[in-house]
Amino acid sequence: MQKASAGKAGKVTKPVKAGPREADRAAPYKPRGSRRSEGAAQTPRATEAPSPDDSARAPIEPQRTLIVRTGERPAERVPLILESQGAGDFHLIDSGAGEKLEQYGPYRVVRPEAQALWPKALPAHVWEKADAIFTGDTDEDGMGRWKFPREALGETWPLSLLGVDFLGRFTSFRHVGVFPEQIAHWSWMKECVETAGRPLKVLNLFGYTGVASLVAAAAGAEVTHVDASKKAIGWARENQSLSRLDKAPIRWICDDAMKFIQREERRGHRYDIILTDPPKFGRGPNGEVWQLFEHLPLMLDICRELLAPKALGLVLTAYSIRASFYSIHELMRETMRGKGGLVESGELVIREAGLDGKTPGRALSTSLFSRWVPK
Ligand SMILES: C[S@@+](CC[C@H](N)C(=O)[O-])C[C@H]1O[C@@H](n2cnc3c(N)ncnc32)[C@H](O)[C@@H]1O
């Protein structure tokens, strides 16, 4: 059953169609490139296991091949729409005409939103009173792309969500240091960690400013956070202190996600929950190229190997890609053949909540997701 609901966050709004149980076996997935059978030897460089700190000096490693997965595909649950009406300091006030108006703590923020094809619900004078507007219409970096109509604002400000404190941040990429639609996954993860009755290990790939890592750590998990950007890791550590989690067991690793997980596989490290939120395109610290359409099958394949025997979930989110959620759903099911459990996939949406944060309006889709759970 869906476990994401926690307060107003992560509510399932659309009843899900129970998919057929696997009676018919589809032909095995045939990706480009070579594959090896389950249980076959690992890469020829299996003995190499540099510590994460060595990664900057590590040579380019060969990527291991995909494993041919056999067995039934997991049961499916599609479409699953995971909806947030906000949580803590965040809610979506209104959207429309290609923009969204969001509340982040004390500030109202206007950002472009291509999905918002409908008209704005609130009058223009409400939108005009925003504290920050992303313009993106200059060549300048950072703050130059933001306009502050009421008064000049600093680059950061304090925010709180699901019991963790962190900094909101006006970045040049129009992000604000947190992806609040992820609240649905984070609430689910928090509940898993809190109710597991044993210490869980969580791996957060492409972890950005660390909000998910902090939610997991605050709930009692041992966390490994991986991101290619030193700057983002710095922000995440700052957020750790703000959340008073300095002593929490979090490994902050600045590395290429693919390289890191291949090493973890060779080392035999295992995790109970894996979150992976890859961009469409990205670069590792040594210029390693991440291309979602090219590398996602292998990433999921390795993540499967990194799941502990009693793992509680593998969660994938995908933004800004020209694909249906079925693309990642079917990939997840093929990857998890023979593992049992359930693959549920769909979209993460945020429901408008009005000026008071309590008046439900239109649903704004933000991303696709697919997650495997053991039951
Ligand atoms: C969309 S953000 C992830 C958002 C985050 N999971 C959250 O919900 O707050 C993408 C992150 O991936 C990182 N990244 C890009 N390419 C990478 C790579 N090859 N290996 C590891 N991290 C990478 C970026 O530095 C960035 O922080």
How close is the Cα of 278 to the center of ligand 1, in Å?
6
Pocket test for ligand 1, best of 90, 161, 206, 237 (most atoms within 8 A of CB): 206
Residue the block writes with tokens 């660390």: 210
CATH superfamily of 11-44+55-84+176-373: Vaccinia Virus protein VP39 (3.40.50.150)
Domains 11-44+55-84+176-373 and 91-169 share a fold: no
Q: Which atom of ligand 1 is nearest to the CA of 317?
A: 6
Ligand 1, atom 11, residue with closest C-alpha: 206
- Class of the CATH-defined domain 91-169: mainly beta
User: pLDDT value at position 173?
Assistant: 86
SS3 56: helix
How would you classify the pairing of strands 250-254 and 156-161?
unpaired
pLDDT along the chain (375 residues), means of 10: 37 35 30 46 31 45 89 98 94 98 98 96 97 78 78 97 97 93 97 98 98 98 98 98 98 98 98 98 97 97 98 96 96 98 98 97 97 96
Q: Which atom of ligand 1 is nearest to the CA of 227?
A: 22
User: pLDDT value at position 247?
Assistant: 98
Q: Domain boundaries in the chain?
A: 11-44+55-84+176-373, 91-169
SS3 187: helix
User: pLDDT value at position 138?
Assistant: 56
How far apart CA 148 and CA 298 sit, in angstroms, is 43
How close is the Cα of 185 to the center of ligand 1, in Å?
16
* Pocket lining for ligand 1, CB < 6 angstroms: 178-179, 182, 206-209, 211-212, 226-229, 232, 256-257, 277, 279, 282-284, 288, 290
How far apart CA 46 and CA 264 sit, in angstroms, is 11
User: pLDDT value at position 28?
Assistant: 32
Q: What are phi and psi of 81, to 5 degrees?
A: -105, 115
Ligand 1, atom 1, residue with closest C-alpha: 279
How far apart CA 303 and CA 289 sit, in angstroms, is 18
How close is the Cα of 213 to the center of ligand 1, in Å?
13
Residues in the chain: 375
